[in-house]
Chain A
């Protein structure tokens, strides 16, 4: 069993806490001048997303979580599972709907995503920061209105709905920031 000493704690380090993989968000060294030294850590549970705090005696060891972020290509979805491929080994991984969470709505195929594996099983998937998707449905565009004020909903080819400026028309290709779910710009074809 791999372990980390509190001296190795830093943001992003993956630990096993109560049987769940967690990632360190913040780590604070606390020591009264003449007293016991502690490590206060803030962690995110990588399965539930819940954030909690833990205190360790300085120098103590904690079990490491076998968690790895790997870049993979999205191949296709069969309706129940999303299939990815590790490009160097061609190994394929099936990701459940729960692990895909909100990421699914940005993917149409071929995108390179960051897949987090825990003991070789996909735990979560991050979409590329920016994707380019075609508008399949929206109210007719208002020509000449480039003010960007107001806006309207638009449905994209993956089914995702985003707010877009009034001038956007069906069939246009848009650049979207997947981290915020916001429209960035039109893509000239």
Chain B
């Protein structure tokens, strides 16, 4: 008898998730942040070179036959359209979808807590993320903060903004994590991702959660880039006991720059043999109309439940992971 009809999460963890969802909503209600819902199915999708969307077809009134619609990899674009329309600070608890992602910390369908704070810079938003995570995980200690550069210097003794591709490759080679990859197989950012995820991340936030901020400009996604001798992305990530929990931006508001980044992503995707989605023209128009100065962050809610439950696998906190869905 197959018992794959059963949930993989315990009833205890199902209840824990419900309690954490309720606490999160109370947190935002107390701070007058408005809960919103945006479409999970949309005509446009992200251009990020490393995110793959699911797509499906709509047949019915109001749209041409066989219109392609994408399941959202995050509610970012739709929530920014609301911000541009004057919503003020907003949050959303919703499902997000990413093709190809399944593992101990990934499920192709997952729950995201995403919020935007009008008038906040990324440091003010880090304060708020800290307050929420302290509340949900019952942590009293103050979180640590370190720049992307400082964390690479401390753990690997190299400057991530200036080290050549050869130096990054040698570092991975010396640590024995590059086997199977040739030097030319990854771009600089690919090697940085490998070093970060394999050598640094497992040690991050072991005792105290830590925010990493000021990312390389090439990893800005939709964060604003601060000009300087080394231009830096005003982006941050939160790590708790080696788990990447949240990713935030001081948001890019410049429609022209958005167009340039889309173009860069498009060329990268084509170079890697993939297809590039069309530009999200409604997001483009919203930024053209004026996105208020704001910061936003996306937090992987399943991972938060994992941390609260001290679970090693996402299957312990998701009732029916993709293999049983």
Contact = CB atoms under 8 A, between A and B. Distances in A.
Interface of B is mostly: mixed
Nearest to B219: A34
B159 interface: no
B29 interface: no
Interface in A28-84: 28-38, 40-41, 52-59, 62
**A7, A38, A41 — most chain B CB neighbours (10 Å):** A38
Interface string B162-190: 00000000000000111111000110011
Nearest to B235: A34
Contacts, number: 78
Given A35-B189, A53-B177, A54-B179, A30 B103 contact: yes
B181 A53 contact: no
Nearest to B172: A55
B247 A34 contact: yes
Interface stretch (B61-69, B83-91, B119-127, B194-202): B194-202
B50 interface: yes
Contact of A36 (B100, B177, B189, B247): B189
Contacts of B244: 32-33
B179 A35 contact: no
B186 A36 contact: yes
Given A57-B185, A57-B186, A30 B179 contact: no
Contact of B194 (A28, A29, A55, A59): A55
A33 B247 contact: yes
A28 B104 contact: yes
Interface string A4-48: 000100000000010000000000111111111110110000000
B291 interface: no
Contacts of B186: 36, 57
Given A7-B100, A33-B237, A34-B219, A54 B180 contact: yes
B197 A30 contact: yes
Nearest to A56: B180
B102 interface: yes
B190 A55 contact: no
A55 B100 contact: no
Contacts of A34: 48, 50-51, 219, 221, 247
Contacts of B101: 29, 31, 37
Interface residues of B, number: 33
A99 to B, nearest CB: 26
Contacts of B51: 34
B193 A36 contact: yes
A59 B274 CA distance: 12
B100 A32 contact: no
Given A55-B194, A57-B185, A35 B50 contact: yes
Contacts of B193: 32, 35-36, 38
B127 to A, nearest CB: 21
Given A30-B103, A33-B237, A55-B181, A38 B197 contact: yes
A55 B178 contact: yes
Contact of A53 (B176, B185, B194, B247): B176
Given A38-B194, A57-B186, A29 B106 contact: yes
Nearest to A62: B180
Contacts of A41: 180
A81 B305 CA distance: 58
Contacts of A29: 101-104, 106
Contacts of A53: 176-177, 179
B197 A32 contact: yes
A23 B16 CA distance: 39
Contacts of A17: 180
**B102, B194, B219 — most chain A CB neighbours (10 Å):** B194
Given A36-B190, A40-B198, A28 B103 contact: yes
3 closest A-B pairs by beta carbon, nearest first, are: A29-B103, A54-B180, A35-B193
26 contacts: A17-B180, A29-B102, A29-B104, A29-B106, A31-B101, A31-B197, A32-B244, A33-B237, A33-B244, A34-B50, A34-B51, A35-B189, A35-B193, A36-B186, A36-B189, A37-B50, A38-B194, A40-B177, A40-B198, A41-B180, A53-B179, A54-B180, A55-B177, A55-B178, A55-B179, A55-B180
Given A37-B50, A41-B180, A55-B177, 7 more contacts: A29-B106, A31-B197, A32-B193, A35-B196, A36-B189, A56-B180, A62-B180
